[in-house]
Amino acid sequence: MKTVFVKPALAERKWYVIDAEGKVLGRIAAKVASMLRGKTKAIYTPNQEIGDYVVVINAEKAAITGRKAQQKLYYRHTGYVGGLKSTTYNKLIARHPTAALENAIKGMLPKGPLGRKMAKNAKIYAGAKHPHAAQNPTAIDL
């Protein structure tokens, strides 16, 4: 069986839009990460960036289950000794409405330069408006 290697110029890349309002955050992130990697295509190759572009709207209205809003912690480090900071989901969403979904998607992508490049193809917006109407994104219902 031959290894498929797709030239980046020949890879057909589409635009999709997903409305996150009322949908579970983890399920949205899993679907978006799969589309960014290109796993929905027949020409999927793990070491190439051939995935589609995904626009997520209403990210601040994504639902989470259980008591995660009060209990789930997000960590970051200042770079100084003892500089580990934590914040809850509610506080994170109040400051950065798209941060929770961005973190979830990045966690499901490969680590390193390829994953960072794939993460840039996810356009996440807190509200219902987005500036990508010219690309004619196809709506996807989860």
pTM of the model: 0.92
Of 2-6, 10-14, 98-102, the range with the highest mean pLDDT is 98-102
Tokens representing 43 are 């020409």
Task: Give me the mean pLDDT over the 85-96 stretch.
Answer: 96
Q: Where are the alpha helices (DSSP H) in 11-98?
A: 25-37, 68-71, 89-95
Domains and CATH numbers, the chain: 15-63+96-140 (3.90.1180.10)
Residues 14 and 54: beta-carbon distance below 8 Å: no
Q: pLDDT of 37-51, one tens digit each? A: 999 998 888 999 999
Is the dihedral angle over the CA atoms 6, 7, 12, 14 positive or is it negative? positive
Q: pLDDT of 93-111, one tens digit each? A: 999 999 999 999 999 999 9
Please report which confidence band the pLDDT of residue 2 belongs to, taking 50, 70 and 90 as the band edges: confident
DSSP 106: H
Residues facing 15 on adjacent strands: 53
